[in-house]
A = this chain, B = another copy of it.
């Protein structure tokens, strides 16, 4: 089961544009003040940096990711999640010609 909709939230109207638009996300805030983001990564190979720990939940398409300290690329598809430690770098790649990777980023 993928999360198709998130209810009762606020959305910031200004997109976060990363890597010349290869990654676009919007910040959302829950009633209790907690924050997540919804985003999409287009075909590219990108290195991200975390502040807080993150959980990346795939809601559509697919990517391959490589965690810090690992040499292995792992596939993540709709309905799957992976966790990244705080203050770390990790890689995401979406193959050319593949569908984009759609995600929810959970912090903390």
Measured CB to CB, the residues of A under 8 A from B are 2-15, 17, 20-22, 24, 26, 28-29, 38-40, 42, 59-60, 100, 102, 104
Contact = CB atoms under 8 A, between A and B. Distances in A.
Task: Give 7 nearest A-B pairs by CB, closest first.
Answer: A15-B40, A21-B42, A13-B59, A7-B10, A14-B60, A24-B24, A14-B102
A46 B88 CA distance: 38
A5 B10 contact: yes
Given A5-B12, A26-B38, 20 more contacts: A4-B12, A5-B10, A6-B10, A8-B8, A8-B10, A13-B60, A14-B59, A15-B24, A15-B38, A15-B39, A15-B40, A15-B100, A15-B102, A21-B21, A21-B22, A21-B24, A21-B40, A24-B24, A24-B40, A26-B26
Main secondary structure of the interface of A (DSSP, over half): strand
